[in-house]
């Protein structure tokens, strides 16, 4: 935990945090988990069914299923991706988290900074908007032609999954 106290480690299905510091701890713990299954299982309990996830280059994802559809292809490109929280700020139900993301793409280290803006509702994610520059990832991909097919599949998978989700009839 960020306050220096001991903790047995993250478990799937965390309880919603009652305060912003607790949410930041949960964010950090979730991103430290192995990808993809433990990560998705952990975060599913922290995402409202109607939560909107907005990020550069990709369509808005909704709910835990949309979150999974967006991030699963990313972990196929960078399976060891982790977020290291640098700083955070909060006001009422809004939490900003600045993180440095680090991973390996085709045996090449990649690092990029992200600022996520979360709106919490009853301690869980109701909305997330990510502010980042994807240039470091694209620069690494451009220097490694062996990653080109996976990168194209990643971009197409997210777009196709998004279109399929939008075309499902509503209940």
Q: How confident is the model over 65-109, as pLDDT tens digits?
A: 999 988 888 898 899 999 999 999 999 999 999 999 999 988 889
Q: What residue ranges do the domains of the chain occupy?
A: 20-165
**Has residue 5 got a pLDDT over 50?**
no
pLDDT of residue 154: 65
pLDDT of residue 159: 60
Instruction: Identify the CATH number of the domain defined by range 20-165.
Output: 3.10.450.50
Q: Model's pTM, two decimal places?
A: 0.78
Q: Is the pLDDT of residue 17 over 80?
A: no
Q: What is the reported pLDDT for 74?
A: 87
List pLDDT tens digits, range 114-164.
Answer: 999 999 999 999 999 999 987 877 777 777 777 777 777 766 666 665 555
- Long-range contacts of residues 14-21, Cβ cutoff 8 Å, at least 24 apart: 14/42, 14/45, 14/46, 15/45, 15/123, 16/45, 16/46, 16/122, 16/123, 16/124, 17/120, 17/123, 18/123, 20/88, 20/90, 20/95, 20/120
């Amino acid at each position: 935990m960020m306050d220096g106290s001991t903790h047995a480690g993250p478990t799937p299905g965390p309880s919603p945090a009652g305060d912003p510091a607790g949410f930041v701890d949960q964010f950090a713990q979730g991103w430290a988990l192995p990808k993809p299954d433990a990560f998705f299982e952990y975060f599913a309990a922290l995402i409202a069914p109607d939560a909107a996830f907005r990020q550069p280059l990709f369509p808005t994802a909704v709910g835990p299923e949309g979150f999974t559809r967006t991030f699963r292809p990313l972990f196929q490109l960078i399976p060891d991706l982790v977020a290291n929280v640098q700083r955070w700020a909060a006001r009422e139900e809004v939490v900003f988290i600045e993180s440095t993301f680090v991973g390996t793409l085709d045996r090449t280290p990649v690092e990029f900074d992200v600022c996520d803006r979360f709106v919490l509702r009853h301690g869980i994610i109701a909305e997330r908007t990510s502010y980042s520059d994807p240039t470091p990832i694209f620069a690494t991909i451009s220097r490694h032609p062996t990653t080109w097919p996976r990168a194209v599949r990643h971009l197409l998978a997210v777009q196709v999954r998004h279109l399929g989700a939008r075309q499902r009839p509503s209940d």
